[in-house]
Structure 1
Amino acid sequence: MSFVSLVFGWGGGSSIGVIPLDALISEATELESEATSYAVEDGPPVTDHIAQDSERLALDGWVTAAEATLLGGLGRDLAGAPNSLGTGRQKLISAKAALRKIHADRLPITITTGLDVYADFAMTRCSIGRTNDGGDKISITAELRKIRKVTLRQADIPPEKTSGSASGKAGGTKTNAGKANGAEPTPREQSELKGKVGTIFGG
């Protein structure tokens, strides 16, 4: 492995989705978690109080117009992989169009580098630049975030009981319900009511 391959990752087959990178300049992975600032009760798992954030990835790389033609005349990029984007200036145009499509589709992609394979990552930011020095190339700065997926669990619910009835009697008071139609009480009911009032107020 040459010094250039060791530093830039040439020969490692780095790619962002379907876009092969001729040179990977930098690769940064961020793993973040948020821990509670409150006291934790001794006994339960401490992991319940640590919220894990999605993994983030930042990449800097080049796509160049250069190509290497081998025995069969098959165009290859600087990493030695078959060039699927075209040749020369068309390769740069196709790479930029592919990045626009990744942004527009809003679908998770897979990123491969010389160190790791990042599956199910969404592109949250991408910067595409070109200068007039250092050859005909575009520089790509991309930020991506891991899309975490969960699997739904199904549980069997026991069937409801259709037979049987509620047992027991509803409670009740020993007092009369009274009359709901607004009729005048009888003389007997009036005397009973006076006796109760006198008992309550000490009369």
Structure 2
Amino acid sequence: MAVAIRNVRESDLDAVLALNNAAGPAILPLEGARLRRFHQIADYFRVAEVDGRLAGFLIALRESADYGSPNFRWFRDRYGQFVYIDRIVVASAYRGHGIGRVLYCDVQSYAEVRVPTLCCEVFLEPRDDVAVLFHGTYGFHEVGQQTMPEVGRRVSLLAKDLPSFAFVRDTYLLHGGLPDLPWLAERKHLLTDPRLRVAGGS
């Protein structure tokens, strides 16, 4: 099974919407307009393909995104810099094959050269033990709980420290940016946050 991760294309959005809305109660449904809004504002929006077929997707946003989710706002009120995973969906035919872990590894590699923390939430009502176990084994820990006002469901708010960010920041970001290396090529173009620059630096 060949898995490829790539940036979402506008032509993918109808298939992404159908996949999201077939995911079940663990994923809130979307309307087309909101998905198109994600396409405009998400800092990370990538899909997984298996042999050319859409197998899953993940949407994540930086703390500066113009986004009104109460869970996103909870993190923005408490953390200076973070990447927030809004949703991950894997098609039912591909569950249990590691697609979710591949997407999480990819979003972590995106996040760890930008921010110190990766955030998300999982539903506690109804409790999704598979999601709780997945995030626990991947290094997330609970940092709070709240009830989402629009749906009345309680969530566990999770965070994962990205210890490699301090090395990246101190070694590269504060001294002219990341080196010109092939494995960093896709990650360099968004590293323009002025908060990562030292006074008088580039």
Range of TM-score over shorter length: under 0.3
Which gives a bigger RCO, structure 1 or 2 (Cα 8 Å, sep 6+)? Answer: 1
